[in-house]
């Protein structure tokens, strides 16, 4: 079993290690290692197209993660009061959103947005005071944020609900017994207990949005995210600069995932320690 486990891990992580190694290649060809050098990291960071794509990815990931955290937390709290078959129905919708392949979500989001834009744009042209300057809805930042926000919101709901399930209910009951208002109970009792789950959900949402290519490819329009830039570049051949970009993205993603897991574990320990 140990040999089998080692073989599986080697199969998964050996290609990643090769990318990290060849990102330090001093030569110009990704397949020919000619010594160690960090020059490609500097060239990647000095490439204006890379920096523009990075700025787009960071902006979309940050805004979509904030929206997903906000609405996902609200949905998780609301679902606590839903019982019976209605609860099962909404649970199924949440898990289906996570399980459905990204290409299906991308195509469905594209069709939905195009339909909505075709319906709203003629109305905007009619009601807009100056016909020549009527805004036209199209794919871009808004569609990227909406698609990523809706997809990652399901992750936030799952994480926050798990945190709510491990929450110390006696504190909420004591707050009610002391005549605290519902908002006061939420602000001083509920929110501090579920905040680790909210923060972990935000970090995971940010990572999923930043790394996403499939959904972004369908709804990005004229915008270019970093994964789309990398995909467009490797169609012309893999270079050490692409390896350097991939290594930096991998390192940042792993750091965020480790931070999110650490926050969740500390939240569980605090919940276990405060349980009667």
- Say what the pLDDT of residue 271 is: 54
Asked which of 25-29, 68-72, 201-205 is least confident by mean pLDDT, the reply is 25-29
Whole-number CA gyration radius for the chain: 23
pLDDT tens track for 227-275: 888 888 877 777 788 888 888 888 887 887 788 777 767 766 665 554 4
- Say what the pLDDT of residue 67 is: 94
Alpha-carbon dihedral of residues 191, 197, 198, 204, nearest 10 degrees?
A: 170
Question: How many other β-carbons are positioned within 10 Å of the β-carbon of residue 186?
Answer: 16
Domain extents in the chain: 54-235+252-274
- Determine if residue 181 is left, alpha or beta; phi over 0 gives left, psi from -120 to 50 gives alpha, anything else beta: beta
Q: What secondary structure does DSSP assign to 224-238, as a single string?
A: --HHHHHHHHHTT--
CATH of 54-235+252-274, one of 3.10.310.10, 2.40.50.100, 1.10.10.10, 1.10.3720.10: 1.10.3720.10
Share of the chain above pLDDT 90, in %: 10
- Whether the pLDDT of residue 72 is over 80: the answer is yes
Share of the chain above pLDDT 70, in %: 92
pLDDT tens track for 44-58: 888 888 889 889 999
149-159 average pLDDT score: 89
- Say what the pLDDT of residue 238 is: 72
User: Do residues 246 and 19 lie in contact, with contact meaning Cβ atoms separated by under 8 Å?
Assistant: yes
User: Do residues 233 and 43 lie in contact, with contact meaning Cβ atoms separated by under 8 Å?
Assistant: no
pLDDT band at 61; cut points 50, 70, 90 = very high
Q: How far, in Å, CA of 68 to CA of 53, rounded?
A: 22
Pairwise pLDDT comparison (136 vs 112), residue with the higher score: 112
pLDDT band at 276; cut points 50, 70, 90 = very low
Q: How far, in Å, CA of 252 to CA of 227, rounded?
A: 14
């Amino acid at each position: 079993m140990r040999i089998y486990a080692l073989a599986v891990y080697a199969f998964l992580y050996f290609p990643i290690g090769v990318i990290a190694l060849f990102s330090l290649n001093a030569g110009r060809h990704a397949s020919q290692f000619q010594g160690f050098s960090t020059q490609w990291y500097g060239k990647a960071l000095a490439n204006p197209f890379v920096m523009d794509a990075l700025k787009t990815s960071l902006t979309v990931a940050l805004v979509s993660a904030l929206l997903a955290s906000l609405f996902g937390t609200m949905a998780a709290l609301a679902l606590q009061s839903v019982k019976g078959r209605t609860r099962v129905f909404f649970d199924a919708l949440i898990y289906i959103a996570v399980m459905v392949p990204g290409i299906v979500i991308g195509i469905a989001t594209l069709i939905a947005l195009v339909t909505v834009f075709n319906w709203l744009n003629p109305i905007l042209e009619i009601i807009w005071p100056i016909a020549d300057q009527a805004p036209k809805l199209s794919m871009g930042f808004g569609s990227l944020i909406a698609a990523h926000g809706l997809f990652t919101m399901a992750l936030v709901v799952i994480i926050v609900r798990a945190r709510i399930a491990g929450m110390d209910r006696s504190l909420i009951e004591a707050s009610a017994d002391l005549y605290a208002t519902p908002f006061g109970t939420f602000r001083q009792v509920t929110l501090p207990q579920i905040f680790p789950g909210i923060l972990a959900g935000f970090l995971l949402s940010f990572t999923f949005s930043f790394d996403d290519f499939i959904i972004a490819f369908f709804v990005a329009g004229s915008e270019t995210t970093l994964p789309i830039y990398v995909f467009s570049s490797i169609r012309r051949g893999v270079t050490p600069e692409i390896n350097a970009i991939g290594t930096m993205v991998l390192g940042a993603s792993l750091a965020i995932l480790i931070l999110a897991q650490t926050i969740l574990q500390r939240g569980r320990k605090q919940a276990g320690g405060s349980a009667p």
